[in-house]
Amino acid sequence: AQSVAQPEDQVNVAEGNPLTVKCTYSVSGNPYLFWYVQYPNRGLQFLLKYITGDNLVKGSYGFEAEFNKSQTSFHLKKPSALVSDSALYFCAVRDMDNFNKFYFGSGTKLNVKP
């Protein structure tokens, strides 16, 4: 079965410091991986995706994610956090063998303190 795990409910980081939000996945075929961000009372917004190619994917707002096949991970990173990055972050995998169904992690709340 396909699944996505975000082991941390919450990540706290000081403004200006690097941040990492963790995600591991389980898929039977090649993974299509995504990160989305949700601000309070808003819908999810696409940040970045990995389908194939370079393991380091660059996305919106200075975020990037590193695909690691051996560790089945797709951690979200940013070199220097901003207070405005505080939000809920969701990792997702798309099952291309099952009608393109999306599986989402439970979400990680990122708190960036000034």
Task: Give the footprint of another protein on this chain (CB under 8 A).
Answer: 32, 34, 36, 41-46, 49, 51, 90, 94, 96, 98-107
Q: Least Å distance between CB 20 and another protein? A: 20
Tokens standing for residue 14: 């000081």
Q: Least Å distance between CB 28 and another protein? A: 15
Q: Least Å distance between CB 86 and another protein? A: 18
Closer residue to another protein (CB): 77 or 109: 109
What are the distances in angstroms from CA 65 to CA 20, 77, 93, 97? 9, 6, 14, 24
Backbone angles phi, psi at 3, to 5 degrees: -160, 160
Q: Least Å distance between CB 42 and another protein? A: 6
Closer residue to another protein (CB): 17 or 106: 106
- Token pair 């393109």 is found at 100
Cβ atoms 4, 108 nearer than 8 A: no
Closer residue to another protein (CB): 101 or 113: 101
Closer residue to another protein (CB): 13 or 33: 33
Q: Collect all residues with Cβ–Cβ distance below 8 Å to 63 and sequence separation of at least 6.
A: 35, 47, 48, 76, 77, 78
